[in-house]
Amino acid sequence: MSTWQIDLLEHLRARLPDAEVTAYGSAADPVLLDRWSDLDVTMSPDDSFELETLIDAPLWAFQESSEQATQIVRAVFSDGRRVDLTIRGASAILPRAPIDNAIRFDAALAAVRFGRGSDLIGLHLTLGILREALVQCMISADREHGRSHHRSATVFDHRAEEALALLTASSGPRTALSAYAVYAQWRQEIDPGYEPAPEGLEALIEAGEGRRLL
């Protein structure tokens, strides 16, 4: 049965015919693939390449690290596909990270964890997003009152209850989406130039829930 992971693996091999492109993890055993799986691959291209051009999709969020001649990129694309790349030799050229890149990436991981029933890790990641959302409210309170020390309640303290309310419903992938939406709303209040972009997370969740085919 064809899946987007196997299709993308073949796409990478066709685009990089001189590179050794090897799948590992669940993509190496299609029986283990499910709707929440990513594609894990190692590759050894001769020349550097733009990752978005190679995949034919915009990056939505990513993490990058390197060790000696190895580059590791964990990518979430705007269409919901997730790819973990281990690149040896040449390197992938990445766009400028979005301003909320870390929040997006954690939200994607949280959605996947919730989707697979790993609620402990999913909630841990979601709480990190809500913590950052509350930081936006603390900044708003400081600006409203012209100081950073508050001995009593401010007009923003009710936001704590709003954040807690997100956690009272049954947890699931959309818990991560709700947390991202709250973060985005409260950040826009202090940064009018900030533009939330939930589409990558929405696509990932819809695919994982079987509502959308990748």
CB-hemisphere CA count at 13 Å for 210?
1
pLDDT tens column, 36-65: 999 999 999 999 999 999 999 999 999 999
CA distance 27 to 8: 10
pLDDT given at position 85: 97
Domains of the chain by range and CATH? 4-93 (3.30.460), 101-196 (no CATH)
Taking a C-beta distance cutoff of 8 angstroms, is the pair 43, 16 a contact?
A: yes
**DSSP characters over 39-82:** EEEEE--SS-EEHHHHHTS-EEEEEEEEETTEEEEEEEETTS-E
pLDDT given at position 143: 77
pLDDT less than 50: residues of the chain: none
pLDDT given at position 146: 59
Mean per-residue pLDDT of the chain? 92
Q: What is the DSSP letter of 196?
A: -
CA distance 50 to 74: 15
pLDDT given at position 114: 97
pLDDT given at position 171: 92
CA distances from residue 208 to 18, 35, 36, 40 in whole angstroms, order as listed: 33, 5, 5, 17
Cα radius of gyration (the chain): 19
